[in-house]
Structure 1
Amino acid sequence: MIARLIALLGVASLSIAAADKPVVTSSAGAVAGTTDGNIRVFKGIPYAQPPIGPLRWRPTQPLPRWSGTRDASDYGPACIQLQSPKPVSVYSPAAPLPTSEDCLTLNIWTPANAAKAPVFVWIHGGALSGGSSREPLYDGKKLAERGIIVVSINYRLGVLGFLAHPALSAESPQHVSGNYGLLDQIAALTWVKRNIAAFGGDAGNVTIAGESAGGLSVMYLMASPYARGLFAKAIAESAYMVSMPELKTARGDQIAAEAAGTLLAGGLQAPDIATLRGMKPDELSLAATKLGYAPWITVDGKLVPEQLVATFDKGKQAPVPLLAGFNSGEIRSLMILAPKVPGNAAKYEAAIRERYGDLASEFLRLYPSTDMKESILAATRDALYGWTAQRLVSKQAALGQPSYLYLWDHSYPAEDAAGLHGFHASELPYVFDNTDRTGPLWPAIPATPGEAAMADAMADYWASFVRTGRPQAANAPVWPAYDVKAGNYMLLADTPKPNANLFPGMYALNERIVCRRAANGKIPWHWNFGLAAPAMAAATPGCG
């Protein structure tokens, strides 16, 4: 009797569509959403089975079609992550997000009259350990009003999303582990391909997009054979093409991913995977972080065949149009990434010469000792984000694909007063045209005609690229496609302005550094640059 009552209550929870709620029926089942002006909104739609219990640390499993009509009027919970009880940075929400291990949901904003509309799939950032599709900044209404469908997704984070371990690899038919969060993203894209037509979308015109760890994810989706055919274009904002740990082999100071998982299990006093699966997710996430665990995407030879540098060097990435760029002040809100300023200029120069050898003079020309703090910020920015953005558009252009590069250098009085000019992610309120939806510690964006015009231009450029593969905006300059010789890019400062030859010498220097490290084979490329760099590898043929 009790079981039957529970079953009846479960069906009832899926059958609450009111007459005034928009209902869409796809192969996944029926959902009842809400309306926001002329936009239909569907939130919290599950795209896979909950990765709980025995499904923890397993590849994402399809969700059977549900019966009845599922309520899609509110977001699903964020995936498990550590949170502070009150805001601590510009990226903090006003209050802790509701979280659950049952978090594999997506949200859809679609014009009421959409028919084969282009689709924009947003992958949130957060260092693979935080963030959520439910953040107000990512509300898709303003972009959807430009004639596109916006989809935002959740994916497993932290230890629950990226743990590799020999026992998990042994469970796998392909003998690999880790990358569960990336598999979630692929599952979400697969769901979109199968179901988005019912919402008025064109499954053949999907653009994947993300910022920071979302941009990192975009690159790995471009590189993964498992994601091929699930998208037609890509946008990578402030992505970072750092080297990642390999599944079974240590590389310099990066231990193998399975070895890292084994160390973590030992620290947690877990004799087997069953014990780890039995731990409460919040307690597991906290304990793993205290033990120094950090999530990485793993080079497993399958889902991620090789290091990104190698994939893009060989032209094996998805041959799709690309829009990519970075921000002038990336590190101003990420000071943890910047090495400490030395006591004087002589110490700075000596440290650089010790680390960079024959490349030290060029490094010091680009990042001189005359203003060490600014040079450290610029060197860190360029090594992680600037070089990555230019490399992405260069490699896509070499494949014959239209590519577009930008530098975000826009700011406003409150941002400058906080010392955050052009900080990491500061373009996002403009991309989504949501300048009034930032967090409590984000410098308040003034409601001025200039800021509104910049938001209009940014959202127009992004929506146009999603539609056609060409970023165009009303009342704004034409954005030239990237050409390797000309070095075209769009400078997004007070207003958009086409420019060329971005930070002369920056890209060439970082290419030489990374090439030498890759040729050496034992020196990874991640946060070990500038004053934190190891001794420079010797020049090799083709590396200079």
Structure 2
Amino acid sequence: MAALAASMAACGSMASARPAPQSDPLVVAAPAGTVRGRAEGDIRAFKGIPYAAPPVGEGRWRPPVPLAPWTGVRNAAQFGPACIQPTPGPPHIYSQDLGATSEDCLTLNIWSQTSAQAAPVIVWIHGGSLVAGSSKERLYDGARLASEGVVVVSINYRLGVLGYLAHPDLSAESPAALSGNYGIMDQIQALTWVQQNIAAFGGDPANVTIAGESAGGLSVIYLMTSPYARGLFARAIVQSGYMISTPELKQARFGMPSAEEAGATLTRRLQLPSLRAMRATDPQVLTDQAAMAGFLPFGTVDGMILPGQMVDVFDQGRQAPVPVLAGFNSGEIRSLRMLAPPVPGSAADYERVIRDRYGDMADDYLRLYPSSDMAESILAATRDALYGWTSERLVRSQTALGQAGYLYLFDHGYPAADAAGLHAFHASELPYMFGNPDRTPPRWPRVPDTAEEVALSDTMLDYWISFARDGRPQLQDSAWPAYGTEGHFMTFDGGARPGVGLFPGMFDLHEQSMCRRRMAGNAPWNWNVGLMSPKLAEGPGGCSR
């Protein structure tokens, strides 16, 4: 990362010039500088700690720059601002007030026990489609996990156009001739900060697990493919991640323009003729205008930060050789219906389109997603192509690499969610694995305060902590076998039930679909599945069946 930074900065603020007594457990002298946290029950919380210089002014669209150590004692009792994100539109299930936002947002938060020493570390990467979200969301409070003996870190990273814009002029000014991926580089810089500082907070830098859900899960996969993140983590947790096709920096491929071309098109639409004009634009205005213009933030395959398409890196065995825990929710698309096509007027119409798009694969498709219940089939197909296939591909790939892979399906419902048609919806596992069922967003179906819900939360929390501790999610009374050659998985549906062979035929169908698109080179593999699928080539064409 240092080779990519244009300059080094020595900046930081201090809340007090007087040295604090080191006997105070809320004061930690780390290599980055001394911070004063706050007590939250039996846990120490340190919030809003900067891990890089503010990416503002000329720092916009540049790699993160490490901070020089500050002097004095920095107040770390309050969260830093969320990163700039689009002005909220109509409310939805995930809506919440994140408070202040700023372009100066590269901060992290730490929860740990006072007595923690060489404890396992979980670094949480928030979701939000790489567009929205924040490390300070109530749902991500790390106190409950920390109470079980881990050190929890949550991080902010640049979002939207500020975090993922690639552009020919940005590449031209870069010493590495690259642009884009600033949000990913932020995550790498945060992990570097953790390596250098977490021991002071009681964590073990050699035992770091990166974890994330949705776009956070995508970020974990990006980090698993990036050589610049190698050695910064020992394990990975991917919840509802998606191994989609990714724009390439210079070349149009898979039905997508190059990332530079997409960036140039955006700045022309916004009438920003130069880097000076781009950097002078108000960050909130720029973010809102880019979102309205249809800019979609993704990582960029640049041959360096992201060396290749994720599927290629994993197929070649070039990903991080670490154990992985990965899974998805049975009702992912129930709260993400914009990803699914409308239900056709008849079963005959449904089958006609599927046979036209899938050809020799149509029988397999219709066996998994029959026309007898088109609405449910559409939801399931979209879910599986994005989240189910990705989860199983991850554990298969790590198994082939000689690492353990653990697969799960979250299929738990509760009265308020089920009554709203949201059984096991996208992200609904988070209150359970964080142990925060009472800290959900205001429009979230209320999780009941019952012994059964607490028991499920305790079980999931214990599995996640066990995996972070030694790479094996094992409890004394409920073994979770590795995926292995038999296809083991765990279902969480009010309890924890091991099984073998999740959704038989699901992985093979979507792997074949992805492979044919990759071979043809003219269509992405993401949520354009089923009725929205491009017409696939007949026969395997180099893809095994």
TM-score when normalising by structure 1: 0.96
Give the direction of change, closer, same or farther, for the CA distance of 1:9–1:164 in structure 2 (3 Å limit).
Answer: closer
Q: Are 2:81 and 1:89 aligned?
A: no
Q: Are 2:126 and 1:110 aligned?
A: no
User: 1:158-189 CA deviation, whole Å, 9 max, x = no partner?
Assistant: 00000000000011111110000000000000
Q: Is the 8 A contact 2:12 2:68 kept in 1?
A: no
- Structure 1 Cα separation of the partners of residues 79 and 520 of structure 2: 47
User: 1:139-164 CA deviation, whole Å, 9 max, x = no partner?
Assistant: 00110011100000000000000000
- Structure 2 Cα separation of the partners of residues 8 and 222 of structure 1: 31
Find 2:64's aligned residue among 54, 60, 64. Answer: 60
Find 1:418's aligned residue among 412, 417, 420. Answer: 420
User: 1:290-325 CA deviation, whole Å, 9 max, x = no partner?
Assistant: 111111111111110110010111111000011000
Find 2:370's aligned residue among 368, 371, 376. Answer: 368
- Structure 1 Cα separation of the partners of residues 292 and 511 of structure 2: 35
Moved more, 489-498 or 19-28: 19-28
Pairs within 5 Å for 1:171-182: 171-182=173-184
Correspondence for 1:540: 541
Q: Is the 8 A contact 1:15 1:70 kept in 2?
A: no
Pairs within 5 Å for 1:427-442: 427-442=429-444
Correspondence for 2:493: 493
Give the direction of change, closer, same or farther, for the CA distance of 1:480–1:454 in structure 2 (3 Å limit).
Answer: same
Name structure 1 gaps, 5 residues minimum: 1-6
User: 1:114-157 CA deviation, whole Å, 9 max, x = no partner?
Assistant: 11111000000000000000001000011001110000000000
Paired residue secondary structure (2:82) = coil
**Cα distance, 1:467 vs structure 2:** 0.5
- RMSD over aligned CA atoms reads 1.8
Q: Is the 8 A contact 2:14 2:74 kept in 1?
A: no
- Structure 2 Cα separation of the partners of residues 158 and 124 of structure 1: 14
**Cα distance, 1:369 vs structure 2:** 0.3
Correspondence for 1:482: 483
Correspondence for 1:77: 81
Paired residue secondary structure (2:333) = helix
Q: Is the 8 A contact 1:410 1:421 kept in 2?
A: yes
- Structure 2 Cα separation of the partners of residues 151 and 130 of structure 1: 19
- Structure 1 Cα separation of the partners of residues 177 and 21 of structure 2: 44
**Cα distance, 1:517 vs structure 2:** 1.3
- The AA in structure 2 aligned to 1:153 is I
Q: Is the 8 A contact 1:17 1:69 kept in 2?
A: no
- Structure 2 Cα separation of the partners of residues 110 and 12 of structure 1: 23
Pairs within 5 Å for 1:213-292: 213-292=215-294
Paired residue secondary structure (2:154) = strand
Correspondence for 1:307: 309
Q: Is the 8 A contact 2:302 2:308 kept in 1?
A: yes
Correspondence for 1:3: none
Q: Are 2:448 and 1:446 aligned?
A: yes
Q: Is the 8 A contact 2:208 2:233 kept in 1?
A: yes
- Structure 2 Cα separation of the partners of residues 268 and 120 of structure 1: 40
- Structure 2 Cα separation of the partners of residues 447 and 14 of structure 1: 46
Q: Are 2:199 and 1:197 aligned?
A: yes
**Cα distance, 1:460 vs structure 2:** 0.5
Give the direction of change, closer, same or farther, for the CA distance of 1:532–1:16 in structure 2 (3 Å limit).
Answer: farther
- Structure 1 Cα separation of the partners of residues 386 and 70 of structure 2: 44
- Structure 2 Cα separation of the partners of residues 96 and 454 of structure 1: 28
Name structure 2 gaps, 5 residues minimum: 1-10
Q: Is the 8 A contact 1:33 1:71 kept in 2?
A: yes
Q: Are 2:27 and 1:23 aligned?
A: yes
- The AA in structure 2 aligned to 1:266 is R
TM-score when normalising by structure 2: 0.95
- The AA in structure 1 aligned to 2:151 is I
Correspondence for 2:3: none
Correspondence for 1:348: 350
- Structure 1 Cα separation of the partners of residues 144 and 245 of structure 2: 36
Correspondence for 2:5: none
Correspondence for 1:337: 339
- Structure 2 Cα separation of the partners of residues 338 and 511 of structure 1: 19
- Structure 2 Cα separation of the partners of residues 199 and 536 of structure 1: 53
Query: Percent identity of the aligned residues?
Result: 59
**Cα distance, 1:37 vs structure 2:** 2.2
**Cα distance, 1:108 vs structure 2:** 0.3
- Structure 2 Cα separation of the partners of residues 298 and 97 of structure 1: 30
Correspondence for 2:209: 207
User: 1:320-373 CA deviation, whole Å, 9 max, x = no partner?
Assistant: 011000000000000000011100000000000110010011101110000000
- The AA in structure 1 aligned to 2:273 is P
Correspondence for 1:455: 457
- Structure 1 Cα separation of the partners of residues 13 and 31 of structure 2: 23
Give the direction of change, closer, same or farther, for the CA distance of 1:361–1:150 in structure 2 (3 Å limit).
Answer: same
- The AA in structure 2 aligned to 1:89 is H
- The AA in structure 2 aligned to 1:67 is T
Q: Are 2:318 and 1:316 aligned?
A: yes
**Cα distance, 1:36 vs structure 2:** 1.6
Correspondence for 1:379: 381
- The AA in structure 1 aligned to 2:44 is R
Q: Is the 8 A contact 1:490 1:499 kept in 2?
A: yes
Paired residue secondary structure (2:222) = helix
Q: Is the 8 A contact 2:404 2:484 kept in 1?
A: no
- Structure 1 Cα separation of the partners of residues 452 and 302 of structure 2: 47
Correspondence for 2:401: 399
